[in-house]
Structure 1
């Protein structure tokens, strides 16, 4: 899988739809036990949802971590600094494949991040061990790797024209675990765990909105791999656009885009 280059502006084009799973996750997260709470947001991206943590816990010390310089730059400019309740919101470079907290945390979150981390469930033990008693580890990941948007992307990448350049750049269905597997992992680590899934039906607007959506996320490895060949990149996008139009036809009020997500909230027993 290619490490993608990120475009904060493209990612934020669907910020409202992308933020909803985070707010649904946050609604099930209990208040952190620390005073003030110490919170980490893994894969914070441009920081727009990390800022929601400061709104809920204004005294907290919050750090958003990401391995994209572009995303961190945008997060620093838009959101870093003291919070209204005397807390602080900051951002720092880190890779979820290797990040381990340097101090105990009351809450560690990952929002639409862990699907980019091969073997991410093997990191759970380290993160949960870093929680204070009664602290929480919570995350949500896409569960849509068998959806047409991904199947068509992978099929095209493996076609005769593209497989030499793109066959190994994309994630597959095993990028995330089944909800039952997450529940087993988290309870096995001594947590009280709540795991569920939701399928959102996003009603997207504009021309080719599903393509516009995936250009901000799932398609980033392809766009990165073809960045030095604009003609090839445009040819791939043209083929993919045609397939997406058939798979996701526009309706009278927009283009319905079903999107399944998997959620988990695991609290370390006090």
Structure 2
């Protein structure tokens, strides 16, 4: 079976749940220690539409921050909404890059990635290059979803199999468990803090879990079926019904448990 095409992204759909999606990034940044320089250099790998990259400028207003992404649609939104000088005298800019091959070309004080590395097969093999590109005392920090065994993703994979789309989706091996990340990040010259959190997002609106995954995990399926509208609607009809059973609404909304894995690795001085 042929390999899946890279998914296309819809910034507007992604941002429909921007508040919930940004919270893990804010929690990640809260654990990042002081950076080596007063005017730090920061890279955000997989910056998307730039809304969470802007949080970096709030935390480090003097920093030069570059968000990297390989989606033209996401980068267009980021350039329009967020690029330019920051209030603290720093700068926020964005550039096209493939995280699978991106290598630091200058010393960084912080390399951070928010809900991106699950899309990068073998991403742990890139850790050495990224940590090696940090200044002494610099930090590499990331968070990834750890919900590949949740009903939302199991049902998606089951339906993909029934609809002949097995090749489109990632599986539970897209990310490591927290202990494995700790082992890969802890060693000579580097200390690490790894943890996990399960958020219970309270979603509102009609079919809110489907609306959520349309912005992220379902993108490969939507991309594969972009030129087959009847097959696309058949898949969505089946998936919608399954999600309604798996995530029934309650009095104030639909609870949506979402596990995430976090890591903060600091290069020793």
Fold match (TM-score > 0.5) = yes
Deviation at residue 58 of structure 1 after TM alignment: 0.7
SS at 2:76 equivalent: helix
In structure 2, the residue matched to 1:123 is 126
In structure 2, the residue matched to 1:102 is 105
Are residue 259 (structure 1) and residue 258 (structure 2) matched?
yes
Deviation at residue 190 of structure 1 after TM alignment: 3.1
Are residue 227 (structure 1) and residue 232 (structure 2) matched?
no
CA contact (8 A) 1:2 1:170 kept: no
> d(CA) in 2 for partners of 1:70 and 1:191?
36
In structure 2, the residue matched to 1:169 is 168
Deviation at residue 189 of structure 1 after TM alignment: 5.7
In structure 2, the residue matched to 1:139 is 142
Q: Deviation string for 1:206-247 (max 9, x for gaps)?
A: 000000000000000000000011111111000000000000
SS at 1:58 equivalent: coil
CA contact (8 A) 1:60 1:87 kept: yes
> d(CA) in 1 for partners of 2:34 and 2:71?
29
In structure 2, the residue matched to 1:198 is 197
> d(CA) in 1 for partners of 2:175 and 2:259?
12
In structure 2, the residue matched to 1:248 is 247
SS at 1:188 equivalent: coil
In structure 1, the residue matched to 2:155 is 152
Aligned mate of 2:59, from 56, 67, 85: 56
CA contact (8 A) 1:44 1:50 kept: yes
> d(CA) in 1 for partners of 2:77 and 2:242?
33
Q: Where in structure 2 are there 5+ consecutive unaligned residues?
A: none
Are residue 113 (structure 1) and residue 116 (structure 2) matched?
yes
> d(CA) in 2 for partners of 1:32 and 1:224?
40
CA separation of 1:245 and 1:189: change in aligned 2, threshold 3 A:
farther
CA contact (8 A) 1:72 1:93 kept: yes
Q: Which runs of 4+ in 1 moved over 6 A?
A: none
Are residue 8 (structure 1) and residue 22 (structure 2) matched?
no
> d(CA) in 2 for partners of 1:35 and 1:85?
11
In structure 1, the residue matched to 2:238 is 239
In structure 1, the residue matched to 2:31 is 28
Give the stretch that moved more between structures: 107-116 or 182-191: 182-191
RMSD of the alignment, in Å? 0.7
Q: How many pairs were matched up?
A: 266
Q: Where in structure 1 are there 5+ consecutive unaligned residues?
A: none
Deviation at residue 133 of structure 1 after TM alignment: 0.1
In structure 1, the residue matched to 2:78 is 75
Deviation at residue 9 of structure 1 after TM alignment: 0.1
SS at 1:92 equivalent: strand
Aligned mate of 2:88, from 80, 85, 90: 85
> d(CA) in 2 for partners of 1:2 and 1:126?
27
